[in-house]
Amino acid sequence: MSAPASPNRSWYKRNEISVTPWLFLIPGILFFAVYVIVPIFQSFWISFHEWDGLGEKTYIGTAHYERLLGLGDQKIDRKFEVSFWNNIRWLVLYLLAIPLGLFIAIFLNQTVRGIRIYKSLFFFPFVISQVVVGLVFSWFYLPNDGLFDILTGFFGIDVKGGVLGNPNTATYGIIAAGLWPQTAYCMILYLTGLNAVDPEQVEAARLDGAKGWKMLWYVILPQLKPATFIAFVVTIIGALRSFDLISIMTNGGPFGSTRVLSFYMFEESLSEFGFRMGYGSAIATVLFFIMLGFIVYFLYSMWRDEKEAR
C-alpha cells in the first residue's frame, strides 16, 4: 500500500475502486437476501415445526418428513406420492418441447416473404399468461362440447368425463397445454441458434455429401449446443415450477390426480384445509432439493464456461 498521495484526499477517494462495487451491490444484495436467500433457510427451519402461520411454532423435529416419506411405522403420504410421480411425468414429457421446438424452428428457418410474421405468430403462445392458456385449453377439452372431444369422436375415441375430468388423462392434458408455450420458447431459442450456424461448415459438409438427418446430427446440432443448454434449463425449471395451469385447469383434481409438489405445498399451506405451514414447508424443501440437483449442474456448466472465457 502506498502512502496517501495527499492528506486532504478522503478515505473514499483513496479506496474508490475497491469500495465502489460494494456500494453498487448493497441495494441489490439486500433485497435479494431479504426476499430470496434468507426465506430459503427460514423454510427449512419452519419445516421442523408445527405452525398455522399465526400463533407459536412448536418444534417437532423431523416428524413432517417422516410422515411425508412414510418412515417408521407410517405409510407414505399418498398425496405426496401422487404429486411426486406427477412431477416426474411433467419433467419427462415437458422435455418434448425441445425436439418439437427444434422441429418448428427448422421448418421456419427460410427466407420466403412474410416469414418474419410467421415466426412471431408461432412464438405468440409464450407471451400469453399461463392463466389464459389454462382457460383456453380447458374449453378446448370440455366434455362433449370441446373441440378435442369432437375431433377424437371422429375416431370413435371417447375419454370418459372429458380429458380433465378423467384421472387417467387429466395430468397429460395439462402437460400438453404447458407444452404449447414452452415449445414456442424452445423454437425461438433454436431460430436464434440456427441464424448463427456457420454457413461455411454447412457448405463444406454438403460437398462431402452430408444431408438431412446426418447433417442435422453431426453438423448442425453441435453448433446449437448453447441454445440446447438454455432450452434444457428453462424447460426443466418450467416443468418443476408448474402451478398456474394446474390451479386453473383442474385445481388438483379429479380426486387429486393432477397434484404436483408445488401445488400440494400450496394446498397444505394456504387453503381451506387449514394453514399447515410446517408441513407445506417440508414439501417445499423436498421440491427444493430435487431442483437443487439441477441448479448445481446448471451452475457448474456456467462456471466451466466462465473459466474458459478467462
Partner 1 sequence: MFPTPIEKRTRAAQLSYQGLLPLALIMWLLPLIAVAVFSIRPDADFTNGNYWGMPSSFEFFENYGKVFFESDMPRYLLNSVMITIPTVLGTIALSAMTGFALGIYKFKGNLLIFFMFIAGNFVPFQILMVPVRDLTVNMNLYDTKTGLILFHIAFQTGFCTLFMRNFIRALPFPLIEAARVEGVREWQIFLYVVLPLMKPALAALAVLIFTFIWNDYFWAVVLTQGPDAQPVTAGITAFNSQYRAAYHLMSAGSIVAALPPVLMFFLMQKHFIAGLTLGAVK
- Residues 207-246 touching partner 1, rule: CB under 8 A, are 215-216, 219-220, 226-227, 230, 233, 237, 240-241, 243-244
Q: Is 15 in the site for partner 1 (CB under 8 A)?
A: no
Write down the least CB distance from residue 172 to partner 1, Å: 16
Which CB sits closer to partner 1, 159 or 283?
A: 283
Cβ proximity to partner 1, 139 vs 255, nearer residue: 139
Burial of 198 (0-12, 13-18, 19+ CB in 10 A): exposed
Residue pointed to by grid coordinates 395451469: 245
Residues in region 33-62 near partner 1 by CB under 8 A = 34-40, 42-43, 46, 53
Asked if 118 touches partner 1 (CB under 8 A), the answer is yes
Query: At closest approach, how far in Å is the CB of 250 from partner 1?
Result: 13
Q: CB-wise, 84 or 122, nearer to partner 1?
A: 122
The reply to whether 287 sits near partner 1 by the rule CB under 8 A is yes
| Helix 97-108, helix 225-241: angle, nearest 10 | 130
Which residue in 95, 188, 239, 246 binds partner 1 (CB under 8 A)? Answer: 188
Give CA–CA dist 21/31, Å, rounded: 16
Q: Which residue among 8, 195, 207, 273 contacts partner 1 (CB under 8 A)?
A: 195
**How many residues line the site for partner 1 (CB under 8 A)?**
104
Q: Segment contacting partner 1 (CB under 8 A): 60-68, 73-81, 115-123, 167-175?
A: 115-123
For partner 1, the binding residue among 81, 192, 232, 253 (CB under 8 A) is 192
* Residue from 27, 72, 209, 293 binding partner 1 (CB under 8 A): 27
For position 22 contacting partner 1 by CB under 8 A, the verdict is yes
Least distance from C-beta 72 to partner 1, angstroms?
25
Is 120 a binder of partner 1 (CB under 8 A)?
yes
CB of 230 to partner 1, least distance (A): 5
* CB-based contacts of 247, cutoff 8 Å, min separation 6: 134, 263, 266
User: Residue 181 and residue 191: Cα distance in Å, rounded?
Assistant: 15
Q: Is residue 27 reached through a cis peptide bond, with omega within 30 degrees of 0 on the bond before it?
A: no
173 binds partner 1 (CB under 8 A): no
C-beta closer to partner 1: residue 35 or 72 = 35
Among positions 89, 180, 232, 253, the unique one binding partner 1 when judged by CB under 8 A = 180
**Per-residue three-class SS string for 229-272:** HHHHHHHHHHHHHCCHHHHHHCCCCCCCCCCCHHHHHHHHHCEC
Min CB(73)–partner 1 separation in Å: 29
| Closest to partner 1 by CB, 71 or 295 | 295
Contact status: 80 vs partner 1 (CB under 8 A): no
